[in-house]
Amino acid sequence: MSEASLKIAVVGPTHPYKGGVASHTTTLAHELEQAGHDVTLVSWSHLYPSFFYPGEQSVPSKGDPDVPPFPRTVRALSWARPDSLISAGRRLRDVDLVVVVHVIPPVVPLHLTLLRAAGVGRTAISGHGPRSVVIAHNVLPHEPHPGDSALMRTFFRRVDAVVVHSAEQARLARELDAEHVVVTDLPPHLPGGAPVERAEHHGPARLLALGLVRGYKGIDVLMRAMLRVPDVTLTVAGEIWGDAGDELRRLAEHRSLRDRVRIHSGYVPADRIAPLLGQHDVLTLTYRSATASQNVLLAHEHGLAVLASDVGTFGDQVRDGVDGYLVPPEDEDAIVEVLQRLTDPAEVARVRGGVRPPDLHAPWARYVGTLEALSSPDAIADPTLPTPGRRRSRLGRVADRAEDLVTFARLVRDRRRPRLELEPSDFPSWVRATDVLAHDDEAVRAHELVRELDLPRGGDAISEWAALGALEVLIGMSDRGRRDALIIDASGSGSPFGRWARAAGYAPVEVELTGARSSMTLLDVDTATLDVVTRLHPDDAGAADVDETLTQAGWALRAGGLLCLTLPVGGTGEDVIGGAADLRAVIARASDAGFSLVGDVDGALTARLRHASRVSADPEAAHALVRLTLRRR
């Protein structure tokens, strides 16, 4: 274990408790351990009384876990034994960070008991005891009760930071006196294993509503819309509670739905999820309200399109008309319009054809990095600091000014020591600042070197190739081992560069982009402030925005500062670099913007580009990836 790793206690539900929160908690423990930290998962032997959760809380005794259990799990907590919280808390006094997974407000007094016993206070003020972070899946329940807000306000006042998964939840947390709130995407923790082979289906859409049935999920709105549209079918699979369940059963008995709606009441075990998804075409998420959910990712992983209300994070996850449909919440007419389209087998095939499997690995790198940053008492101490990891909305908003991000980077850098003592000599000569990836075996070689250098798990091999050259450039900067370069990484969560830079002792500020792409205009920094700017695969620059990237980086970088970016070359379309001649034109424009190329793309590299274009199997796709490193004059 590296001396710079953290001792972390994750407090939350895990197997045999079921559901998305338990899966997320367990996966989080695995990911933190894989990042090199000393992790203990502190869980429950007895969770809530049944009046808080009237369904079955646990997986059946012979049922498989939704996700692989975490080996270092201590099931020490019991609702019926408050003293168990005190005993468990005292054993956590020597950890660096306590991460508490918040589920429902009635558990808050128990969590506060544990934190008090662990010596947790507002460490930003006291400077003693473990740091404390709450992961709030829902700041308040979908169906709140009197007293919930008061409990959450007390909770938030006594911890250092709160992590939430949507901007709306961040607003609510701040209203409840959370001092330091971080917004970051909910990373995937999908139950059910790999997709199964799908049988061919030529007919109207087969809809699926999967999971716990409660009023806020709006399945009744969907079923009333189905009364007006023939042919489409619906399966409701999950535990059914109270009045919402009674309404569904009543609607299902209607003469026009009786043969088209099947209700399978009860827990859906992990080994049944993939086969069930494989028998349907569209996952329905017609919620009245939502916060963050991974159900869209689950559907897309198994090849289903999605019909979702535009609430919570669904609007960022569903490409309307491409891999699913977005409708206003509780808008029966809008749902009817979509269902009418889904009676056409050709439309079903078209929208399912737009589905792409989600990235299940890179989002965790960003999530773990957020918690690593919050382990710093200096980062938490300053209330003016930004919230790292916050995503842009679909309108392209950015929450924080980049000069604040630079301040944040300095504070985290001052605390962090490198886990990996990398030197320029650790990189073989074939890792170049400027290079061309034209063959798959080059990416495989980069992947093998990543493992040899013991770098944290990254994205795919191409992303690793792109990031490896940028890391070599960063390590090669003359800073006498201080690791004090100020870095803006606009490569997105699919790139491992930011994670690798942190492992080497740097504190990069990561700007993740979604929606409209204009990365460099996000950086509101003083002229000549930054040492390094990166924009690497998969969120590389294209023909449409490379000039803007050059211009903005030109004034943000200090003299001698480096811009490292990747460009896809070849193929057709408005946003591509056509070939070697176009690439040389980009380099010429970079020179006009005040940059000098580090390395060259002439000679052998140009020949490799031309060879890649000749052997490309798809003339419409990019046939090579170019990494350019440019030095600000």
pLDDT digits (tens, 9 = 90+) for 106-163: 889 999 999 999 988 644 334 467 999 999 998 998 777 888 999 999 999 999 999 9
Q: What is the pLDDT of residue 123?
A: 42
Q: What is the pLDDT of residue 60?
A: 52
CB 94 within 8 A of CB 117: no
Q: How far is CA 630 from the centre of its chain?
A: 30
Q: What long-range pairs does 610-613 form, CB within 8 A, spacing at least 24?
A: 610/579, 610/580, 611/438, 612/436, 612/438, 612/439, 612/570, 613/570, 613/579
Question: In angstroms, rounded to a whole number, what is the distance separating the alpha carbons of residues 230 and 348?
Answer: 15
Helix (H) or strand (E) holding 502: helix 497-503
Residue 151 φ/ψ, nearest 5 degrees = -65, -45
The pLDDT tens digits of the residues spanning 474-517 come to 988 866 667 778 888 888 777 888 888 888 888 777 665 443 33
Sign of CA dihedral 12, 17, 21, 27: positive
What is the band of 59 on the pLDDT scale with cuts at 50, 70, 90? low
Helix 604-615 / helix 580-592 crossing angle, nearest 10 deg: 140
The pLDDT tens digits of the residues spanning 320-379 come to 999 999 999 999 999 999 999 999 999 999 999 999 988 777 788 888 888 888 887 655
Question: In angstroms, rounded to a whole number, what is the distance separating the alpha carbons of residues 301 and 516?
Answer: 24
What average pLDDT score do residues 34-39 get? 90
The pLDDT tens digits of the residues spanning 259-311 come to 999 998 887 887 889 999 999 999 999 999 887 788 999 999 999 999 999 98
Distance, first Cα to last Cα, the chain: 42
Q: Which amino acid is at 615?
A: V
Beta strands in 383-443 (DSSP E): 435-437
CB 282 within 8 A of CB 300: no
Give which of 341, 260, 351, 347 is closest to 299, Cα–Cα: 351
Q: Which residue has the higher pLDDT, 57 or 550?
A: 550
Query: Is 50 exceeded by the pLDDT of residue 413?
Result: no
Beta strands in 344-491 (DSSP E): 435-437, 487-489
What b/e string do you get for 211-236 counting C-beta neighbours within 10 Å, with b at 16 or more?
A: bbbbbebbbbbbbbbbeebeebbbbb
Give which of 577, 579, 595 is closest to 587, Cα–Cα: 595
The pLDDT tens digits of the residues spanning 241-273 come to 677 778 888 999 999 999 999 998 887 887 889
Q: Which residue reads 């580090």 in tokens?
A: 598
Question: In angstroms, rounded to a whole number, what is the distance separating the alpha carbons of residues 197 and 179?
Answer: 48
